[in-house]
């Protein structure tokens, strides 16, 4: 613990924590995106998946315990990521009190210049996103337990889709620079593998963009709709997963 703290005291150490928390968030995004694709399997499958998230580990572990472990890990990652980003930003801002009259950008990629304000947009989106689909306060007609319906109704609003798209563009930039940068930060460099770090970051960033975008695009084009779910409802099929607690 003492060593972990003394590592964080250095600028390079803060960056290391940022990279490790970034990796955790990337794994989360990959899993989240894969889960969202379940929307295409229909309301039953998607709602079942949403319910399963609350039940992972049961009956070995109590209800929702795995979910809470995940939430705590994610929250800690976001906290460390943002705290180190802020501290390093302040350090760097103080390092050049007087700027240049003429300065050309010699950076490897434009994406590296978007990390800070892009990160703020992502953070704002995450708050909104939780109020929208998890707790429901920002949703026009939220029904706990019917995640499929909440998503379809949510994405029928074009400006919701607009904000979602903007955020995903920022995430794509963030990861195109971020994944490559994180390899640098943790010192994962070797002449043999260096040439694949950029392409890997690009492919991952684009895959996540395509996967996440496909859901709102599916709703807007009518590929994903309540039609089937209504038809089935008339036939007496109930899609809402059993509700354990309000607002979850």
Partner 1 sequence: MEFTLHVWRQSGPAAPGRFETLSVKDISEHMSFLEMLDLVNERLIAEGKEPIAFDHDCREGICGTCGLMINGVPHGPLGLTTACQLHMRHLKGAKEIWVEPWRARAFPVIKDLVVDRSALDRIIQAGGYISVRTGSAPEANSIPVKKIDADMAMDAAICIGCGACVAACPNGSAMLFTAAKVSHLGLLPQGQPERFDRVLSMVEAHDREGFGNCTNHGACQNACPKGISVDFIARLNRDLVKAALTYKPYEITAV
> Is residue 183 involved in binding partner 1 (CB under 8 A)?
yes
Site mask, partner 1, residues 95-134, x = CB under 8 A?
A: xxxxxxxxxxxxxxx--xx-x-------------------
The site for ligand HEM (CB under 6 A) is made up of 15, 18-19, 22, 25-26, 29, 81-82, 85, 112, 115-116, 119-120, 122-123, 171, 174, 178-179, 181-182, 185
Contact 40, 218 (CB under 8 A): yes
User: In whole angstroms, how close is the CB of 240 to ligand HEM at the nearest point?
Assistant: 29
The total number of residues written for the chain in this structure: 248
Q: How far apart are CA 239 and CA 120, in angstroms?
A: 36
Q: Which does 94 bind (CB under 5 to 8 A by kind): ligand HEM, partner 1, none?
A: partner 1
Nearest-angstrom CA–CA distance, 203 and 13: 28
Site mask, partner 1, residues 15-34, x = CB under 8 A? xx------------------
According to the binding rule CB under 8 A, does residue 1 interact with partner 1? no
Name the residue with tokens 């795995």. 66
The one among 41, 71, 127, 184 contacting partner 1 by CB under 8 A: 184
Candidate list 4, 192, 234, 236; residue touching partner 1; CB under 8 A: 4
Applying CB under 8 A, does 199 fall inside the site for partner 1? no
Distance of alpha carbon 24 from alpha carbon 120, whole angstroms: 18
Q: Is 94 in the site for partner 1 (CB under 8 A)?
A: yes
Q: How far is the CB of 188 from ligand HEM (least distance, A)?
A: 10
Binding footprint of partner 1 on the chain (CB under 8 A): 3-4, 6-7, 10-16, 88, 91-109, 112-113, 115, 177, 180-181, 183-189, 194
């Amino acid at each position: 613990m003492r060593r972990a703290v003394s590592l964080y005291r250095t600028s390079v150490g803060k960056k290391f924590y940022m990279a490790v928390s970034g990796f955790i968030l990337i794994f989360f995004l990959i899993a989240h995106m894969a889960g969202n694709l379940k929307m295409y399997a229909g309301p039953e499958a998607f709602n079942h998946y949403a319910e399963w998230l609350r039940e992972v580990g049961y009956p070995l572990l109590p209800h929702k315990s795995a979910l809470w472990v995940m939430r705590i890990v994610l929250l800690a990652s976001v906290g460390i990521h943002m705290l180190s980003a802020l501290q390093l930003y302040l350090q760097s801002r103080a390092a050049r009190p007087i700027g240049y009259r003429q300065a050309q950008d010699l950076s490897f990629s434009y994406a590296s210049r978007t990390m800070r304000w892009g990160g703020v947009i992502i953070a704002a989106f995450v708050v909104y996103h939780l109020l929208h689909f998890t707790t429901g306060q920002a949703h026009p007609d939220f029904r706990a337990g019917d995640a499929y319906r909440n998503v379809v109704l949510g994405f029928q609003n074009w400006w919701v889709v607009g904000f979602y798209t903007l955020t995903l563009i920022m995430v794509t930039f963030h990861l195109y620079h971020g994944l490559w940068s994180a390899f640098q930060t943790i010192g994962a460099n070797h002449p043999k593998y260096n040439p694949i770090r950029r392409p890997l970051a690009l492919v991952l960033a684009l895959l996540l963009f395509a996967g996440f975008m496909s859901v709102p695009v599916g709703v807007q084009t009518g590929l994903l709709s309540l039609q089937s779910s209504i038809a089935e409802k008339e036939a007496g099929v109930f899609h809402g997963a059993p509700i354990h607690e309000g607002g979850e």
